[in-house]
Amino acid sequence: MRLLLVAFAMLLLNAGWAAGTPPAPQGRVFKGQVLEVKDVDAYSYLRLRTQDGEIWAAVTKAPVRKGAEVTIENAMVMNNFRSPSLNRTFDRIVFGSLGGADSAAAPAAGDAKIAKAQGPEARTVAEVIGRKAELKDKAVAVRGKVVKFTANVMGKNWVHLRDGSGSAQDRSNDILVTTKDPAQLGNVVVARGVVRTDIDLGSGYSYPVLIDDARLQK
């Protein structure tokens, strides 16, 4: 996770954001109601009402609506953060990825079935997860809805796809995809990449299976 956070910090600097004091302990989750939204370039600033009071958060730009209940995952807190884009300094702000949201971002695929990709490499999300040992290091094509998108971390974009297959109980309904291509929440795409298994980034960031270095096609 340390490498992930370093990459994220570099992303903030590259985006022209100036930080104040070093970040506090990371990896937290914040939940709250959106009171205000400010969109700039590729990011959304959200003022949230949480159980511990109000706080600002910054996430990859998403169609978040006022009044929505959102979750900020993999969060790190920064103090005295200067945002040139908004021309203001935040006493305290949270940086992270937008997790589950009620009326905040594109709805997850849920039980809605999405047509399987075509061709001999076509697989459903549940098939990739359930047959990971067999599919290890093999090319696959998965069509699914983008339910989560994190940009430019460790040189890649991180996309979660769902196609209505699998189950939330055993986490076989959601597949992580790494790609250089952009994606929009709610869009249905075909991810063509290679199955990787037992990926460990350290500090608890491990993935039993993911689709790596994928190209995204509509």
CATH code for the domain of 178: 2.40.50.140
- For residue 197, pLDDT over 70 is answered with yes
What residue ranges in the chain does DSSP mark as E strands? Answer: 28-40, 43-50, 53-60, 69-83, 88-102, 139-153, 156-162, 175-179, 188-202, 205-217
Give how many domains the chain has, as a whole number: 2
Q: Looking at 35, 70, 102, which one is the last position of a domain?
A: 102
Residues 138 and 70 in one domain: no
Range of the domain at 60: 2-102
Q: Using an 8 Å Cβ cutoff, are 77 and 39 in contact?
A: no
Between residues 8 and 93, the one the model is more confident about? 93
CA distance 176 to 157: 10
Percent of the chain past pLDDT 90, that is, above it, reads 43
Residue 9 pLDDT level (bands cut at 50, 70, 90): very low
- For residue 16, pLDDT over 80 is answered with no
- For residue 96, pLDDT over 60 is answered with yes
CATH code for the domain of 30: 2.40.50
Burial classification of residue 105, based on how many CB atoms lie within 10 Å of its CB (0-12 exposed, 13-18 middle, 19 or more buried): buried
Q: Using an 8 Å Cβ cutoff, are 37 and 45 in contact?
A: yes
Per-residue pLDDT tens for 31-59?
A: 899 999 998 877 889 999 999 899 999 98
Structure confidence at residue 42 (pLDDT): 74
Per-residue pLDDT tens for 105-146?
A: 444 444 579 999 999 999 999 999 999 999 999 999 999 999
Q: Looking at 46, 70, 102, which one is the last position of a domain?
A: 102
Q: How high does pLDDT run on average in the chain?
A: 81
Residues 81 and 129 in one domain: no
Q: Using an 8 Å Cβ cutoff, are 48 and 54 in contact?
A: yes
Residue 4 pLDDT level (bands cut at 50, 70, 90): very low
CA distance 15 to 180: 17
Residues 84 and 129 in one domain: no
Q: Which of 148-157, 163-172, 191-200 has the highest mean pLDDT?
A: 191-200
Q: State both tokens at 185.
A: 């929440």
Q: Using an 8 Å Cβ cutoff, are 54 and 93 in contact?
A: no
- For residue 6, pLDDT over 50 is answered with no
Return the sign of the alpha-carbon dihedral for residues 151, 152, 158, 159.
positive
Q: Has this prediction a pTM greater than 0.85? A: no
User: Do the domain assignments include residue 116?
Assistant: no
Percent of the chain past pLDDT 70, that is, above it, reads 80
